[in-house]
Amino acid sequence: MNHHHANQQPLISIVIPSFNQGQFIEQAITSVLGQNYPNIELIVIDGGSSDQTLQIVEKYQHSIRHCISEPDHGQAEAINKGFRLAQGDILAWLNSDDMYLPCTLSKIAAAIGNTTEPALVYGGALYFYEKTTYTFGELPPEFDPDQLTYFDYMIQPSTFWNRRVWETVGELNEMYCYVLDWDWFIRASKICQFTRLEGEYLAIYRLHGSHKSGTGKDARQEEILRVVETYASQEWIAAYHDVYKVITPLRTWLYRLSRLKLYWLRYGLYPRLYLKYGKHCIEDIILSLLIVPHISTEPRFNRLKPYPSF
Q: What is the DSSP string of 281-297?
A: HHGGGSTT-SSSTT--S
Distance between CA atoms of residues 111 and 119, nearest Å? 9
Query: Domain containing 242: what range?
Result: 213-299
Q: How far is CA 163 from CA 43, 109, 167, 254, in A?
A: 16, 13, 6, 40
The rounded mean pLDDT for the chain is 81
Element (H, E) at 185: helix 180-189
Q: Are both 174 and 263 inside the same structural domain? A: no
Q: Are both 171 and 284 inside the same structural domain? A: no
What does the pLDDT average to over 278-298?
35
Q: How many domains does the chain have?
A: 2
What is the pLDDT at residue 226? 93
What are the counts of helices (DSSP H) followed by strands (DSSP E) for the chain? 13, 10
List, in sequence order, every beta strand (DSSP E) within 130-246. Answer: 135-138, 159-162, 194-207
Q: Are both 219 and 200 inside the same structural domain? A: no
Q: Are both 28 and 97 inside the same structural domain? A: yes
Q: Are both 198 and 97 inside the same structural domain? A: yes
7 within a domain of the structure (yes/no): no
Q: Are both 198 and 243 inside the same structural domain? A: no
- Residues of the chain with pLDDT > 70, as a percent, come to 72
Residues in the chain, overall count: 310
**Most distant CA pair in the chain, distance:** 57
307 within a domain of the structure (yes/no): no
73 within a domain of the structure (yes/no): yes
Residues 6+ apart with CB under 8 A from 50: 20
153 within a domain of the structure (yes/no): yes
Q: Is 90 helix (H, G, I), strand (E, B) or coil?
A: strand
Q: Are both 74 and 125 inside the same structural domain? A: yes
Distance between CA atoms of residues 102 and 30, nearest Å? 11
pLDDT confidence of 143, banded at 50, 70, 90?
very high
Q: Are both 27 and 80 inside the same structural domain? A: yes
Distance between CA atoms of residues 79 and 58, nearest Å? 20
With 0.75 as the threshold, say if the pTM is over it. yes
Q: Is 132 helix (H, G, I), strand (E, B) or coil?
A: coil
Q: Are both 257 and 127 inside the same structural domain? A: no
> Which tens digit of pLDDT belongs to each residue from 196-238?
999 999 999 998 766 565 556 688 889 998 999 999 888 878 7
